[in-house]
Amino acid sequence: MSADGAVLAIDPGRRKAGYAVLSALGTVLEAGIEPVGELEQRVAELLGRIDVERIAIGRGTNGRAVGRVVERFELPIFWVDEFETSRAARSLYFVEHPPRGWRRLIPIGLQVPGRPVDDYAAIVIARRFLARGLGAQPPS
């Protein structure tokens, strides 16, 4: 699949990592959550199908370890600040999956998604990266 300027974003965690591939325009091409031990295989599979040009990794928990996993793919790696990504991911989740029934009456800020939102956090990381262009911080 051709996606000029696509970015693979990863929200690293200790046990699992969210990932998302976005086009240069910010369209989500694919997203999901993988155990950290299976992330390298998933990234290889994604790169075999989608023309990704860059990788953006959240600068947070287990970020350096995940960075070492993906550096073998020889794509430019950029680090993105993860400040408030969990909150933004929850908001994005509820935009795509609005509460139904009586849950509509409860403020969104008081609700918890029915599943992990690491993939939505990766989408937030990718959009932050794309909004800043190549000005995101490369690894030091």
| Mean pLDDT confidence for 105-124 | 93
User: For residue 110, how far is the Cα from the chain centroid?
Assistant: 23
pLDDT at 139: 46
pLDDT at 3: 59
pLDDT at 28: 95
pLDDT at 44: 96
Contact 123, 9 (CB under 8 A): yes
pLDDT at 109: 83
d(CA 93, CA 87): 10
Q: What is the pLDDT of residues 30-74, one digit of tens each?
A: 999 999 999 999 999 999 999 999 999 999 888 899 999 999 998
Percent of the chain at pLDDT > 70 equals 92
Tell whether the model's pLDDT for residue 98 goes beyond 50.
Answer: yes
CB atoms within 10 A of CB 119: 24
Q: Give the helix/strand (H/E) hosting 98.
A: none
